[in-house]
Amino acid sequence: MEFEKNILSIGAGYVGGPTMSVIARQCPEYRVELVDIDHEKIARWNSDDLPIYEPGLAEIVQSIRGRNLFFSTDIGAAIDRADIIFVSVNTPTKTYGYGAGMASDLQYWEQTAHTIVQHSRGDKIIVEKSTLPVRTAEAMERILSANDKGLRFEVVSNPEFLAEGSAINDLMKADRVLIGHHQSKTGRKAAREIVDIYRHWLPARRIITTNVWSSELSKLIANAFLAQRISSINATAQICERSDADVQEVARAIGTDRRIGPRFLNASVGFGGSCFKKDILNLVYIARSFGLEEVADYWNMVVRLNEAQKARFVRKMVSAMFNTVAGKKIALLGFAFKAHTGDTRESPAIDIARQLLEERAVLAISDPRALDNARRDLEGIPGKVEFQPDPYRAADGASALAILTEWPEYRDLDYSRIYRRMNKPAFVFDGRNILNHPVLFKLGFNVYPLGKKGLSHFR
Ligand code: NAD
Ligand code: UDX
């Protein structure tokens, strides 16, 4: 079959995979391909055991793989074939040298630019899909246009706003698609081609075009604003615990103000995920490099507060359990950074588990999707850890339960059965405020929610 256009994603991860699958399904006349340097990942994309879990993703992949959606490791051939290349490679925080711990590590990004030049024989549109520091498109352009083949590459920024666990829905019903382009004739033409893709399923009013730098910066700022809301509500939770206010009541009260809005006001053990911390640190780094110290400090506090939130949760557990958890079994329910994903990158559960192990607790970790990742995350950390898919078994003989991920199934567990088989006194620490605290208290648990008064049977 002849396809109208060849679209390629370099990088077949949490962004490349779902985004390209949706594009392929919505644009049957385009040939959509994903390549990756990770051969095992590509093999899994070509199998029934996809490398990532996203609700609805497997069904899409199974229905169109081999028709207009392809996964391959032949990066050179795919580049040569492509008219439009989305670069969706990872851009982690730099761990070495200048800017270590803050700046973006752009090695994968730059490597991709060189690979594109090497394998291209015609002009192409290059789409920045990864989240990048402001003015990265410019650097990309310099590398691309340093070719001696007379080729033209037009770089467009199209950051991705999907959230994990709801990626397909977020892509299908995107609040907005952002396309940053150069204000030149070729820049506008390239942007129109990208708009065309999204117009297959989104109305024109949802597609925003800006200049390239605004687009790059908007992505960092959107994540910083979202993370800031969580740090704000977590800071509020700390005040609530000291003042007998209830953070859920406060969130409801302020969320009804349309200027504030009700979403992203759930107090938690802290935000996780591969994006928030990395992107804010990137912003902090950019602000410092512009000499904007107060701006840098302001955003940095969002991350600091998040780190403190995790440590505080552990301190609360230890102090409630008579100042020692050494030798006590604690069941951690949930390890993924949020529900409906197996992803554990930057999950607050990692730090909490590590700190509890330092306190010599014995951990039983349960999660419906994330146990393989949890095993990898805790590898080499000394201490006793059991990975247990069955939450009831995880809780067997435990002194405490800690809810670390808001999986809906944890609401519906048979807590009287769990209570009977736990060590007494039994504790619940609800790091996501998803359980029915008065009911648990009546069953006999000592209950410690977030940002509200604990319910304890001790006098
Ligand atoms: P990921 O690690 O899941 O996927 C990136 C993939 O790129 C990996 O499979 C890696 O092997 C591959 N890769 C790296 N270098 C390559 C190269 N030179 N050639 C081919 N493949 C290469 O990362 P992700 O979560 O998909 O994130 C990708 C980008 O999107 C990041 O910049 C991230 O900040 C951004 N982003 C992520 C999310 C999210 O929810 N995960 C949302 C929005 C934006
Ligand atoms: C985020 C952004 O939402 C998305 O737009 C961007 O493209 C990538 O980064 P993601 O990290 O996948 O998405 O999930 P998100 O739903 O934003 O949750 C991030 C973290 O914040 C999770 O650990 C979540 O549990 C936590 N969170 C979220 C809270 O603690 N409280 C809330 O009210 C909301």
> What's residue 374's pLDDT?
98
Residues 398 and 315 in one domain: yes
Closest residue by CA, ligand 1 atom 32: 130
The count of other CB atoms within 10 Å of the CB of residue 355 is 17
- Same structural domain, 358 and 449: yes
Based on the domain organization, do 55 and 19 belong to the same domain? yes
- Is the CB of residue 10 below 6 angstroms from any atom belonging to ligand 1? yes
pLDDT tens-place values along the chain, 459 residues long: 789 999 999 999 999 999 999 999 999 999 999 999 999 999 999 999 999 999 999 999 999 999 999 999 999 999 999 999 999 999 888 899 998 888 888 888 899 999 999 999 999 999 999 998 888 888 888 999 998 899 999 999 999 999 999 999 999 999 999 999 999 999 999 999 999 999 999 999 999 999 999 999 999 999 999 999 999 999 999 999 999 999 999 999 999 999 999 999 999 999 999 999 999 999 999 999 999 999 999 999 999 999 999 999 999 999 999 999 999 999 999 999 999 999 999 999 999 999 999 999 999 999 999 999 999 999 999 999 999 999 999 999 999 999 999 999 999 999 999 999 999 999 999 999 999 999 999 999 999 999 999 999 997
d(CA 11, ligand 1 centre) in Å: 6
8 Å CB contact between 164 and 273: yes
Q: Do both 182 and 243 map to the same domain? A: no
> Whole-angstrom Cα distance, residue 373 to residue 370?
5
Q: What is the pLDDT of residue 395?
A: 98
Ligand (nearest to CA of 17): 1
Verify that 143 and 259 share a domain, yes or no.
no
Specify whether 368 is located in the same domain as 296. Answer: yes
Distance 230 CA to ligand 1 centre (A): 24
- 169 within some domain: yes
Ligand 1 centroid distance, CA of 129 (Å): 9
Residue 207 belongs to some domain of the structure: no
Identify whether residues 197 and 223 lie together within a single domain: no
Buried b / exposed e along 308-330 (16+ C-beta atoms within 10 A): bbbebbbebbbebbeeebeebbb
- Same-domain pairing of 196 and 247: no
Which DSSP state fits 269?
S
- Residues 6 or more apart from 102 whose CB is under 8 A from it? 93, 94, 281, 282, 284, 285, 288
* CATH code for the domain of 61: 3.40.50.720
Q: Ligand 1, closest atom to CA 89?
A: 7
**Domain end among 202, 236, 269:** 202
Pocket of ligand 2 (CB under 6 A): 160-164, 223, 226, 230, 264-266, 268, 271-273, 275-276, 337-338
- Is residue 425 included in any domain, yes or no? yes
For residues 274 and 400, state if they share a domain: yes
Q: Is residue 111 part of a domain?
A: yes
DSSP codes of every residue in 280-333: HHHHHHHHHHTT-HHHHHHHHHHHHHHHHHHHHHHHHHHHHTTT--TT-EEEEE
The catalytic residue positions are 275
pLDDT of residue 178: 98
> What local confidence, expressed as pLDDT, does residue 221 receive?
97
Measure the CA–CA gap between 6 and 8, rounded to whole angstroms: 7
Do 363 and 435 lie in one domain? The reply is: yes
Would you say residue 79 lies in a domain? yes
State the amino acid at position 116 in one-letter form: I
Closest ligand to C-alpha of residue 271 is 2
In a domain, 211, yes or no: no
Instruction: Determine the Cα–Cα distance for residues 5 and 82; give it in Å rounded to an integer.
Output: 8
**Other beta carbons within 10 Å of 143:** 16
pTM of the model: 0.96
Specify the residue with its C-alpha closest to ligand 1, atom 12: 11
Ligand 1 pocket, residue 90 CB under 6 Å? yes
> Within this chain, do residues 310 and 447 fall inside the same structural domain, yes or no?
yes
pLDDT of residue 421: 97
Cβ of 13 closer than 6 Å to ligand 1, yes or no, is yes
Q: Is the CB of 174 under 6 A from ligand 1?
A: no
Q: What is the pLDDT of residues 29-61, one digit of tens each?
A: 999 999 999 999 999 999 999 999 999 999 999
User: What is the pLDDT, as a whole number, of residue 137?
Assistant: 85
Atom of ligand 2 nearest to the CA of 230: 31
CA 245 remoteness from chain centre: 31
Place of tokens 């385009």: 30
By the 8 A CB rule, do 81 and 35 touch? Answer: no
How far away, in angstroms, is 406 Cα from ligand 2 center? 12
Number of domains in the chain: 2
DSSP per position, 145-204 = HT-SS---EEEEE------TTSHHHHHHT-S-EEEEE-SSHHHHHHHHHHHHHHTTTS-G
Q: Which of 151, 174, 202 is the last residue of a domain?
A: 202
Give residue-wise pLDDT tens across range 121-166.
Answer: 999 999 999 998 888 888 888 999 998 899 999 999 999 999 999 9
Same domain, 125 and 266: no
Final residue in a domain of this structure, among 173, 202, 231:
202
Q: What is the DSSP letter of 99?
A: T
pLDDT for the residue numbered 103: 86
Structural domain boundaries enclosing 445: 217-459
209: in domain:
no
In the reported structure, the alpha carbon of residue 425 is separated from the centroid of ligand 1 by a whole-number distance in angstroms of: 45
Q: Which pLDDT belongs to residue 147?
A: 87
31: in domain: yes
